[in-house]
Structure 1
Amino acid sequence: MAVREKAPGGGGGFQERRVRETYTDAYTLELEELYWCVVEARSKTSVADARRDVELFQMILRAGAAKLEGSA
């Protein structure tokens, strides 16, 4: 979780802190999740999620291509 707050001193700046719920790094958390998905034969995401991801990537690529065509 990221927390943004005004920096002390009245300079108008902000400081950002990252508050971690655990000291376990993200890689270890993902590896443990993968382990349980394999052991319990459950999927982390569905086929519908994968399809939406592909659609999103297509939209991003189309937007980038349109931007390049417009600047040429």
Structure 2
Amino acid sequence: DHYDHVRSILRRCQETRITLNPRETKLADKLAKFTSRTHFPWPVKLNAIQMFPAPGNITDLRSFVGLAEEMTGFSKEFS
């Protein structure tokens, strides 16, 4: 579960006395910002996942998994 992973990271930060700035830390946000770029789930990609045909071979399966993994950071219920 994503929230268990976040708790684990926060616990580890506390144990090692790493200080996080609350103004610079966002949890469960709909947007993710990395290296000055904002990332968000594109409706086109979400639609592509919903409309993806059943994989017929390992290459198709890998394509689907790669596409779907791009969205994992935006949904706590992704599975």
TM-score, length-scaled by structure 2: 0.24
Considering Cα pairs closer than 8 Å and 6+ residues apart, tell me whether 1 or 2 has the greater RCO: 2
Q: With the length of structure 1 as denominator, give the TM-score of the two structures.
A: 0.25
Larger strand proportion of the pair: 1
